[in-house]
């Protein structure tokens, strides 16, 4: 017998129920269907980039941590020529480029009492060459820079620590041609400029420094290199 209106399939709560079978039993309910969710390609790409970036950050942090070492830094400013005290220094752990030549923490005791060879601002690393057992010029002595042409320099290349004599060059117009000289130590050697002039820093007695500086300014000094044999 044909199904009545009440027996035909009708929606119930949005679900279509099947019509009853001939024996009066209901068949399986029809599955709900709806629009499929699709991921945007841009979302997929951004998600992949975030994963890659997170991995790179993790690798970078691990690498920096594994390369970190304990070095010495300045906790309080130290001016050039001052002695280093323990309170001026601290040990930090940081990844640093070996090209900077940082001083490792196990050398802390060796730095105490050393002199700062240049100004050490707070927070800077203590590197090789920044400190030394002595400071130039020493007490009672002075440093003078001599601008010397090739004819006023020794034939051998000067090096720091050389024992030299600063020789006065007589003024050709003067009647007094007496030559004077002063012992000195080379503390700095510059590079030749376009005229092949070299600036040589020498340390000598403080009392004669003004006269030597005046002679150098007028181009009336030369250097003699003394023996290097010790």
pLDDT digits (tens, 9 = 90+) for 178-187: 889 999 999 9
The alpha carbon dihedral of 139, 141, 142, 144 has a sign of: negative
Query: Does residue 25 belong to any structural domain of this protein?
Result: no
Total number of domains in the chain: 2
Shared domain for 118 and 145, answered yes or no, is: no
Write out pLDDT tens, residues 10-22. 555 555 555 555 5
Q: Is the pLDDT of residue 162 over 80?
A: yes
Tell me, what's the pLDDT at 18? 55
Tell me, what's the pLDDT at 226? 95
Cα 51 from Cα 96, distance rounded (Å): 28
- Mean predicted lDDT score pLDDT of the chain: 80
Shared domain for 181 and 216, answered yes or no, is: yes
Shared domain for 213 and 162, answered yes or no, is: yes
Contact 153, 212 (CB under 8 A): no
DSSP state of 82: P
Pick 93 or 1 by higher pLDDT: 93
CATH number at residue 95: 3.90.1210.10
Average pLDDT (209-213) is 96
Shared domain for 165 and 195, answered yes or no, is: yes
Cα 32 from Cα 17, distance rounded (Å): 11
Q: Which domain holds residue 155?
A: 141-225
DSSP state of 118: S
Contact 76, 88 (CB under 8 A): yes
Query: Does residue 75 belong to any structural domain of this protein?
Result: yes
Place of tokens 């020789």: 167
183-195 burial string, b = 16+ CB within 10 Å, else e?
Answer: ebbbbebeeeeee
Helix (H, G, I), strand (E, B) or coil at 12: strand
Tell me, what's the pLDDT at 209? 96
- Before 137, cis peptide (omega within 30)? yes
Query: Does residue 102 belong to any structural domain of this protein?
Result: yes
Shared domain for 108 and 152, answered yes or no, is: no
Tell me, what's the pLDDT at 5? 46
Shared domain for 106 and 126, answered yes or no, is: yes
Shared domain for 217 and 171, answered yes or no, is: yes
What distance lies between CA 202 and its chain's CA centroid?
30
At 35, is the pLDDT very low, low, confident or very high (cuts 50, 70, 90)?
Answer: low
Shared domain for 184 and 221, answered yes or no, is: yes
């Amino acid at each position: 017998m044909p199904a009545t209106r009440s027996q035909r399939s009708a929606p119930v709560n949005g679900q279509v129920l099947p019509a009853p079978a001939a024996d009066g039993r209901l068949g399986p309910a029809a599955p709900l269907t709806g629009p499929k969710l699709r991921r945007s390609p841009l979302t997929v790409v951004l998600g992949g980039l975030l994963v890659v970036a997170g991995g790179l950050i993790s690798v970078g942090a691990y690498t920096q941590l594994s390369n970190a070492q304990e070095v010495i830094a300045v906790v309080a400013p130290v001016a050039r020529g001052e002695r280093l005290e323990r309170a001026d220094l601290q040990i930090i752990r940081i990844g640093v480029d070996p090209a900077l030549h940082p001083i490792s923490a196990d050398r802390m005791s060796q730095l105490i009492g050393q002199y700062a060879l240049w100004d050490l601002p707070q927070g800077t690393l203590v590197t090789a060459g920044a400190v030394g057992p002595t400071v130039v010029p020493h007490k009672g002595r002075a440093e003078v820079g001599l601008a010397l042409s090739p004819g006023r320099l020794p034939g051998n290349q000067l090096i720091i620590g050389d024992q030299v004599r600063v020789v006065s060059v007589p003024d050709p117009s003067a009647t007094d041609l007496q030559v004077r000289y002063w012992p000195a130590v080379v503390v700095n050697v510059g590079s030749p400029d376009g005229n092949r002039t070299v600036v040589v820093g020498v340390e000598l007695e403080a009392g004669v420094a003004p006269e030597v500086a005046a002679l150098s300014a007028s181009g009336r000094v030369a250097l003699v290199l003394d023996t290097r044999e010790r």
